[in-house]
């Protein structure tokens, strides 16, 4: 695990966007799996600015997770975020974007579909992650065990308190997410951590003790993880 600390969110975003761009230049048909939320937004904005003069007509994107139980067009979904911050500005066509429904009729069947899609398109070349306040990765929540593959997740109070879920009151939310084995199968992982609220969970992560109660700690098992902290 390679850990780099930055003195500002801007310097972190510069480094992250530069690394993503280099990865795309080395492998134009890169399969990128990208986290959503506040943490990576500035990095994506810088990526879009730097890539404006490049033809990214082979870049592929795989959705990492989603809020289950709400319409896809809801302003708080991961789908809406990705469309606004990556898909539209980078001109990623529907044939190169691998998504899944936020409110499927049969969530379990949706999981089967997504897993098959990942098997066909994968492995993921570069997976960008954020660390939850409770140590979760995507919607792999702390608990007695972790799921290896795409699954329906019961959300913790920490996840339900996320800013993306603020306008989802009255909805019985659940998570749809890649599993830990799917994430660890990525060729390279970038973990972005920002904000004073995550100081404690970051310290726990960097202790290097692997526990299902801290899903992020499983990244210690991966040979190519870059951790960016501000």
Catalytic residue numbers, as ranges: 65, 134, 136, 141
Q: State the residue for tokens 């920490």.
A: 158
User: Taking each helix axis from N to C terminus, what angle separates 9-26 and 38-50, rounded to the nearest 10 degrees?
Assistant: 50
E-assigned strands of 116-224? Answer: 126-130, 151-153, 174-177, 188-193
**Are 2 and 225 within 8 A, CB to CB?**
yes
**Are 155 and 132 within 8 A, CB to CB?**
no
Give the closest residue to 29 by CA, choosing from 60, 51, 54, 63: 60
Cis peptide before 123 (omega within 30 of 0): yes
Q: What is the DSSP letter of 154?
A: P
């Amino acid at each position: 695990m390679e850990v780099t600390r930055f003195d500002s969110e801007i310097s972190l975003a510069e480094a992250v966007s530069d690394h993503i761009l280099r990865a795309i230049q080395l492998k134009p048909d890169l399969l990128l799996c990208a986290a959503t939320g506040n943490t990576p937004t500035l990095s994506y904005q810088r990526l879009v600015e730097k890539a404006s003069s490049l033809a990214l007509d082979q870049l592929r994107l795989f959705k990492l997770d989603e809020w289950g139980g709400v319409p896809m067009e809801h302003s708080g979904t991961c789908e809406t975020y990705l469309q606004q911050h990556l898909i539209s500005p980078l001109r990623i066509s529907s044939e190169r974007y691998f998504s899944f429904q936020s409110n499927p009729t049969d969530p379990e069947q949706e999981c089967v579909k997504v897993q098959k899609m990942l098997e066909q398109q994968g492995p993921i070349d570069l997976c960008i992650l954020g660390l939850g306040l409770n140590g979760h990765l995507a919607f792999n929540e702390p608990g007695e065990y972790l799921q290896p593959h795409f699954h329906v997740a019961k959300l913790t109070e920490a996840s339900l308190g996320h800013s993306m879920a603020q306008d989802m009151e009255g909805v019985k939310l659940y998570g749809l997410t890649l599993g830990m084995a799917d994430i660890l199968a990525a060729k390279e992982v970038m973990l972005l951590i920002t904000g004073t609220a995550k100081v404690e969970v970051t310290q726990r992560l960097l202790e290097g003790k692997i526990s299902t109660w801290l899903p992020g700690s499983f990244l210690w098992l991966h040979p190519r993880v870059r951790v960016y902290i501000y």
